[in-house]
Every structure is written in C-alpha cells, then in structure tokens.
C-alpha cells in the first residue's frame, strides 16, 4: 500500500508523540484516523485522566475517516522486461471508532486494495481488488492507560507508515505488523521538562479466522498449516515499543524503539527476533515546513526462515503552501543460507532504491503527486514512474447526522 494511503491501523498519533505527523497529514491528504503508534489503534484523546476531550458529545457516537487513492505505475526501463509494465489500481482505507462511553470504544478498519496477483503478467488495470477487515477490537482508555483486545496491528517501527513520497515506504512495509489477533496495553507519561513517552506491549498471533478472507476478490483463508513466523494460533508472539517526543529543548524531535519476537510456525526454520530504532525531526521557517525521518531495523530469522536482514529507510520532506516535495530511499541487506547442508555458506543480497516525488494539494483536499523511483532488487535494476490522486473524507456523528 502506498505511503499516500494508510490503513486505519497505520496512521499517525497526535503530534505529542510523533512530531512530523502534522506535516504528513497536510502532505498526504488521505492520512487516516489519529492512531496511537504503540497500540496501532484509534483513540479518544483525553485532556485529563479519564476525561474525554469531547465532553459535549452524546454517547454513543461514531467517527468515520475514509482515505481514497487512485494510482498508476509504469516500468520505464528494467533489466527484466517483465517489470516494464503499467499497473493502474484503486485503494481505500476506512476507519470507524464507535464511542460507547468515555472509557470504552470499538474500532473497525476496512481496507480495499488488490488482494491477489493478476494472472498472466503484462499490464494490469484495476484488477483483483478485494475488501477485508484489518481491524476489529474493543478499547478502554483509563487515564494514561490504554487497553485493547481483538484484531489490530501491533506497534513496531514507523518507517512503513511515515516515510513520505510515492514510493517511500517500499522496503519498510516488509516488516509492518498487521492483522493480528491478541491483546495489548500502553501507558503514556507526560512531563513538562523531559518530553512525553508512550510504552506499549502486545501479545498476538496471525489472524486465522474467517476475517482473514476478503470479498469481491477472495485472497483465501489463512490457516495454521500455512506456517510462517507468528502463525501459531497461540499468544506467544510479542512486541514491546517506546515512542517519545515533544521535548522542550529540541522542539520537533521524536524517536521510537521496538523489539518483537515471532514464534516459528509450521515448517518454519526458526523464531524471528526483530529490533528497530527510528528518529524524526520537523521544523518550520518562513512559512515552509521541513521534516527528516530515518529508521533502521534488524531481524534474525526473518519470517521464520534462515534469513537475517537489515533495513534502513530515510526521507526528507518540504512543503510550501499547497506544494510539497519528497526525497526518500531505502537499503535492504539480507544474508541467506545458500546450502542447507552447510549453514556456513551464505548468499549476501543488497537491495536499494531512491525516489523523488512532488505534488500539489488543492483547496478541496484533493492531492495530485508524481514520483520517479530507481531501484535494484536481486541484481535487477528498474526505473519506475508513478502518479497518485488522493482524497480524504472525515465525518462525525452524535446522533444528529454526519459532520465533515
């Protein structure tokens, strides 16, 4: 999924924790509902412990946010002719928060995107588009604590979400955690002199219920027999994260730390252990907004295989008025066992990409962006050009109808 369209589980938290979000939201018109980066869930912001900001709202109420995107990618040149194709697609992400009481809420997330690969190769135009539920859970906000259970995207890293540009998240999306079943909790500590911190912990397993399927284009039912790291149907997979920001002495700086353990599934070679560190900085000068992001992640036994991999993603963003531009790129190094009979023999693969993009956001919130990507994956060089048309819609209901 493009960096310009994030599903409900992937969006930015309030600027308190992730400073660049204010810039990202203005540059990416389809950024979805405000999400806690630790829980990966929509939340009712609170002004005092246990007191909702929306003190005048009648319960129950619901908030709805919809992000839409139409895109076209064209392979201009490649060492592999199979990459020289056109791919037109449509995507949408819907986030719904149902406020039951000032404490309890229900979160629902639906994603519309290509769910299976098109058959036969060649150009693809709006084919194999399916709809599935990526989020369905109950959340409780009690003072500085947040508790939740159900289907959600556990926190781990942010580069797969906040790296801007038409292709900025390409590599980092490899390690996004999504569509997991389990439980989690988060605690936020706000200080006057040392910044704000959110510590979170999650236990989970890959969703193997009927919610793993999709409609319109069925991607199939995920089952325990499919194997892979985290596919255990047991709560023996963990992520622990720390997000910090809003430092008085360094305004605009934020960072995140994370660890995850995914137990091996059927036919997996090993467990997966992952570590991540990311930093972001934003500033504004003479009406121009700037942001810089960077993140490094390392994995032992990636995906339950014999692969050890390291990712690095970085991006720069500039916005002046309705115009915005992005420069971002990524590195992905993976060491794979080449001979199972001799685990000392490895193959070393270095993938990389760099992309430049720019766009214009119209007064009605419609954003038109274009990008150019130069990539090398498995020793194959490819040049790709793409355009994105995005638009966000937001509604709230207090029993009196919708308000945008």
Q: How does pLDDT run across 19-52, given as a tens digit for each residue?
A: 333 333 333 333 333 444 443 444 444 333 333 3
Q: Which residue has the higher pLDDT, 70 or 42?
A: 70
pLDDT at residue 117 is higher than 70 = yes
Whole-number pLDDT of residue 31: 34
Mean residue pLDDT across the chain = 85
pLDDT at 199 over 70: yes
Q: Examine the pLDDT at 205 and tell me if it is beyond 60.
A: yes
Question: Residue 54: which pLDDT band, with cuts at 50, 70 and 90?
Answer: very low
Q: Which of 95-109, 264-278, 390-404 has the lowest mean pLDDT?
A: 390-404
Phi-psi label, residue 167: left if phi above 0, alpha if psi -120 to 50, beta otherwise: alpha
Query: What's the pLDDT tens digit per position in 354-368?
Result: 999 999 999 999 999
Fold topology of 8-403: Porin (2.40.160)
Tens of pLDDT, residue by residue over 142-188, are: 999 999 999 999 999 999 999 999 999 999 999 999 999 999 999 99
Confidence of residue 120 (pLDDT cuts 50, 70, 90): low
Q: What whole-number percentage of the chain has pLDDT above 70?
A: 82
Query: 290-306: per-residue pLDDT in tens?
Result: 999 999 999 999 999 98
According to DSSP, the residues that pair with 146 across neighbouring strands are: 141, 186
pTM above 0.75, yes or no: yes
Can you tell me the mean pLDDT for 114-122? 81
The 3-state secondary structure of the chain reads CCCCCCCHHHCCCCCCCCCCHHHHHHHCCCCCCCECCCCCCECCCEEECCEECCCCCCCCEEEEEEEEEEEEEEEEEECCHHHCCEEEEEEEEEEEEEECCCCEEEEEEEEEEECCCCCCCCCEECCCEEEEEEEEEEEEEECCEEEEEEEECCCCCCHHHHCCCCCCCCCHHHHCCCCEEEEEEEEEEECCCCCEEEEEEEEEEECCCHHHCCECCCCCCCCHHHCCCCCCCCCCEEEEEEEEEEECCEEEEEEEEEEEEECCCCCCCCCEEEEEEEEEEEEEECCEEEEEEEEEEEEECHHHCCCEEEEEEEEEEEEECCEEEEEEEEEEEEEEECCCCCCCCEEEEEEEEEEEEEEEECCCCCEEEEEEEEEEECCEEEEEEEEEEEEEEEEEECCCCEEC
């Amino acid at each position: 999924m493009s960096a310009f369209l994030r599903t409900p589980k992937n969006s930015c938290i309030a600027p308190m924790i992730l400073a660049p979000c204010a810039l990202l939201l203005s540059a990416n018109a389809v950024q979805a509902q405000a999400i806690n980066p630790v829980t990966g869930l929509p939340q009712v912001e609170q002004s005092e412990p246990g007191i909702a900001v929306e003190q005048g709202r009648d319960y129950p109420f619901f908030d709805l946010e919809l992000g839409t995107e139409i895109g076209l990618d064209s392979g201009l040149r490649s060492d592999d002719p199979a990459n020289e194709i056109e791919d037109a697609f449509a995507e949408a992400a819907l986030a719904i928060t149902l406020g039951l009481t000032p404490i309890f809420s229900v979160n629902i997330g639906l994603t519309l995107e290509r769910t299976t690969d098109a058959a036969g190769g060649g150009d693809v135009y709006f084919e194999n588009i399916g709809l599935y539920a990526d989020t369905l859970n109950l959340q409780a906000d009690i003072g500085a604590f947040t508790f939740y259970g159900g289907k959600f995207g556990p926190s781990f890293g942010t580069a797969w979400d906040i790296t801007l540009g038409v292709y900025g998240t390409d590599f980092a999306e490899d390690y996004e955690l999504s569509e997991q079943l389990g439980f989690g909790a988060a605690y936020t500590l706000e200080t006057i002199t040392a910044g704000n911190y959110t510590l979170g912990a999650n236990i989970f397993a890959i969703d193997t219920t009927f919610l793993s399927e999709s409609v319109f284009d069925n991607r199939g039912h995920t089952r325990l027999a499919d194997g892979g790291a985290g596919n255990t149907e047991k709560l023996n997979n963990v992520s622990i994260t720390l997000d910090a920001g809003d430092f008085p002495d360094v305004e605009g700086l934020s960072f995140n730390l994370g660890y995850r353990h995914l137990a091996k599934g059927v036919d997996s070679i090993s467990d997966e252990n992952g570590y991540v560190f990311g930093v972001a900085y934003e500033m504004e000068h003479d009406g121009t907004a700037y942001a810089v992001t960077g993140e490094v992640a390392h994995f032992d036994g990636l995906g339950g295989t014999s692969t050890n991999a390291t990712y690095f993603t970085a991006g720069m963003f500039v916005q002046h008025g309705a115009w915005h531009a992005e420069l971002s790129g990524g590195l992905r190094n993976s060491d794979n066992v080449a001979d199972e009979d001799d685990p000392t023999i490895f193959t070393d693969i270095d993938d990389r990409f760099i992309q430049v993009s720019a766009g214009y956001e119209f007064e009605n919130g419609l954003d038109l962006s274009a990008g150019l990507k130069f990539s090398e994956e498995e020793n194959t060089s490819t040049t790709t050009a793409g355009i994105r048309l995005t638009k966000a819609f937001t509604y709230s209901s207090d029993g009196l109808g919708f308000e945008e």
